[in-house]
Amino acid sequence: MEPDNRFQQGAILYFDPFIFPDGGSPKPKYFLVLKRMDDTLLLASLPTSKDHVPDYIEKRHGCIERSDISFNCYYFDPSVTICDNGFSFPVETYVYGFRLQTFNINDLLLQELTDETTIEESGVLTDSEYKALIQCLTNSPEVKRGYRKLLAE
């Protein structure tokens, strides 16, 4: 398959539904491309609205890092525009450092080609937002060492 420009670094894609590699129930899901390694492989996150931030930690848009309790996430406040096209997540959204994974672009495109899902581009993170997210994840011990190295390249 030809390279698909929707899978550029910083792209936020919306899958309806997302088909989980582990067999979880398919559901509509945002997909955030963190790093594209080559034409077929990328490192991404499935942002979530699940709030696992301890109550005693203040939430402000951006990186939340607490090494004393081994906690890391990037918090997207819905009132903050994060893409050049004006996109912001509709609800409070989190990227947790320990939940990054690799995906094969061809597998995702095959699902779209066979009408198992639709993939829409919601936007691409602004340069400053992308850099802040990558810095947050790169500096976190919660992110696997190999992934931190990839993100730092």
Q: What is the model's pTM?
A: 0.92
* Cis peptide bond prior to 28, omega within 30° of 0: no
Question: Tokens 């004006």 label which residue?
Answer: 86
Given a contact cutoff of 8 angstroms between Cβ atoms, the answer to whether 90 and 133 are in contact is no
Q: What is the pLDDT of residues 14-68, one digit of tens each?
A: 999 999 888 889 999 999 999 998 878 899 999 999 999 999 999 999 999 998 8
Enumerate the H helices of 1-153 as residue ranges.
105-113, 127-138, 145-152
Tell whether the model's pLDDT for residue 1 goes beyond 90: no
pLDDT in tens, 72-131: 999 999 999 999 999 999 999 999 988 899 999 999 999 999 999 999 999 999 999 999
